[in-house]
Amino acid sequence: MKNPVMTASGTFGYGEEFSDFIDISRIGGIIVKGTTLHKREGNPYPRMAETPSGMLNAVGLQNKGVHYFVDCIYPRIKNIQTHIIVNVSGSAVEDYVETASIINELVNIPAIELNISCPNVKQGGMAFGITSRGAEEVVKAVRQVYKKTLIVKLSPNVTDITEIARAVEAGGADCVSLINTLLGMAIDAEKRRPVLSTVTGGMSGAAVKPIALRMVWQVAKAVKIPVIGLGGIMNARDAIEFMLAGATAIQIGTANFIDPTITLKVIDGINDYLERHGFKSVHEIIGALEV
């Protein structure tokens, strides 16, 4: 990777939507929207709610399915000069396996990020990510068919995230990313109704950062594979904190909605920090937290 800064799935479209604002090839990697075997309409509206220092979403993995991705989206994005990584979701092990094997054939996609942690779909995603057995089972099955870099995205909605991280490492993951959104809820007191159509939704943004940082620190100590940190990164200082806690790379999600140029500002800010402190490379700050 040219730098450790990536965009988080579901917050940066397919990358091309942002090319009017920035040179997207400067970003270290773009993780595209959650992709499933079959088309998904997503959840009914309303599916967004603002919260103090964050937001709740219940988009529900709206996408046109992997075949549409291969035929219509891949040809448009395959020549973007950075790593394009596909986030893969499913509601059954077989769905994950079939989707991953189709994407395995795409020459310009060097990795997938397996989403076993989406809290916003009734049957899928998170169900696999909240038990060690479920997580290991799906990762093992995908590992059989997916030959390139396999990143597994972990759910924070668990008691001990290190247990799940160890299970996916045992299943054959090359790398873990964390965190996905935290399960939350908003109520409109005047209407005495939930704000989101799904009642509960996934919380993200600045407010989740301390939780994400703690989990990244714990997981980085628990596994040997690289850790990608995300959750509430709003600026370069936040990104550096995740790297000090042990993240090899980071992703930026909700912050893209506030400032579409944030990724480049974070890249420049990390370089500035390295220079100010006399470090030659980001490798010198990964896991460098002194406790």
Ligand X SMILES: Cc1cc2nc3c(=O)[nH]c(=O)nc-3n(C[C@H](O)[C@H](O)[C@H](O)COP(=O)(O)O)c2cc1C
- Select the residue interacting with ligand X from 24, 33, 74, 84 (CB under 6 A): 33
Asked if 232 is part of the footprint of ligand X (rule: CB under 6 A), the reply reads yes
- Give 148: exposed, middle or buried? Use CB within 10 Å, 0-12, 13-18, 19+: middle
- Select the residue interacting with ligand X from 36, 198, 254, 263 (CB under 6 A): 254
Asked if 91 is part of the footprint of ligand X (rule: CB under 6 A), the reply reads no
- Select the residue interacting with ligand X from 73, 85, 135, 208 (CB under 6 A): 208
- Least distance in Å: CB of 88 to ligand X? 9
Instruction: Report the b/e string of 4-32 with b at 16+ CB within 10 A.
Output: bbbbbbbbbebbeebeeeeebeebbbbbb
Q: Kindly report the backbone phi and psi dihedral angles of residue 172, in degrees, each rounded to the nearest multiple of 5, phi listed first.
A: 115, 15
User: Which position among 77, 97, 118, 212 bears the catalytic label?
Assistant: 118
Nearest residue to the partner ligand X, using Cβ: 10
Asked if 8 is part of the footprint of ligand X (rule: CB under 6 A), the reply reads yes
DSSP for 143-173, please give it. Answer: HHH--SEEEEEPPS-SS-HHHHHHHHHHHT-
- Select the residue interacting with ligand X from 24, 59, 196, 270 (CB under 6 A): 59
Asked if 156 is part of the footprint of ligand X (rule: CB under 6 A), the reply reads no
Nearest to ligand X of 42, 194 (CB atom): 42
SS3 content of the chain, % helix, strand, coil (to 5): 35, 20, 40
Q: How many Å apart are CA 105 and CA 145, to the nearest integer?
A: 10
Asked if 114 is part of the footprint of ligand X (rule: CB under 6 A), the reply reads no
Instruction: Report the b/e string of 216-240 with b at 16+ CB within 10 A.
Output: bbbbbebbebbbbbbbbbbebebbb
Binding span for ligand X by CB under 6 A among 69-77, 167-175, 183-191, 203-211: 203-211
* Catalytic residue list contains 72: no
Asked if 263 is part of the footprint of ligand X (rule: CB under 6 A), the reply reads no
Asked if 28 is part of the footprint of ligand X (rule: CB under 6 A), the reply reads no
Asked if 99 is part of the footprint of ligand X (rule: CB under 6 A), the reply reads no
As annotated, the active-site residues are 118
Q: What residues line the site for ligand X (CB under 6 A)?
A: 8-11, 33-34, 57, 59, 61, 87, 115, 118, 153, 180-181, 204-205, 208, 230-233, 252-255
